[in-house]
Amino acid sequence: MTNFKSLIFIIFFLLMITTHFLYSQSIEDLISKEENQLKLSRDKIITRITKLPNSNTHKCQAVGVIYAPIDKIWEVINDYNHFKDFMPRIKESFIVNPSELKEILDVKVEDWQKFEKYLRNFKLEQINGDLIYFYNRFNLPWPFKNRYYILEMVRHPESFSFNWTQFIGNTIVNDGSWELIPFKGSKRKTLGIYTLITDPGVAVSPSLCRLVMKVTLPGTIKSVRKRVLKLFLEEKENA
């Protein structure tokens, strides 16, 4: 168990150093262009999808302005146990107790119903620290089959960002990040930057994959906008 804990610490350390840089290094050129700044100011959501060389992996990015203070949006995108309630196509979501990971690794994931039922034994009700293991069941449109996996997530509260990589699951590649920054220095407008690097492990044409992502990506930003607004209205009603 001691060796396993040491391995988890090493993974955590490496992710802290490398992953955030890898996923955010190319976003500046997307949002700094004058025409994109204008689109963002008009509530447009900018997307970019690129196929990585010599692979079936795509890097997908969505950027949009969310009208709320950055700390409120941070609460929403860290509400992992409720992603199923507002994030598009997520049918189940919950945090998994990291102390049980060694046992989980020995479980086969071919049957999502058995896998999910088993994982419920290790569900956590709240975040404990900045290294998180997060189960998702993702309902993809035809011709894709549902994907289910545990993500290893590293949070960076000081920069309002987090990144993830797949720990176990039935996709080949599932890495990504969320980053929040004030939009043009405003305290009430926040730029949400969502990045997904994915190979779902399904034999489809790159053009079809891009089409699916072009529809799905804006929905992620829109869902966060709606969730923030819903919580704001609830707080106002209960005040």
Q: Give the CATH number, domain containing residue 8.
A: 3.30.530.20
User: Do 46 and 196 form a contact (C-beta atoms < 8 A)?
Assistant: no
Dihedral (CA of 75, 164, 190, 46) sign: negative
Q: Number of folded domains in the chain?
A: 1
For the cut 70, the answer to whether the pLDDT of residue 24 exceeds it is no
pLDDT tens digits, 74-96: 999 999 999 999 998 899 999 99
The domain containing residue 189 runs over which residues? 2-238
Q: How high is the mean pLDDT of the chain?
A: 83
Write out pLDDT tens, residues 36-65.
Answer: 889 999 999 999 888 888 888 889 999 999
- pLDDT reading at 6 higher than 60: no
CB of 132 within 8 A of CB of 155? yes
Q: What is the pTM of this model?
A: 0.83
- State which H helix or E strand residue 95 sits in: strand 90-96
Rounded-to-integer distance, Cα 156 and Cα 217, Å: 23
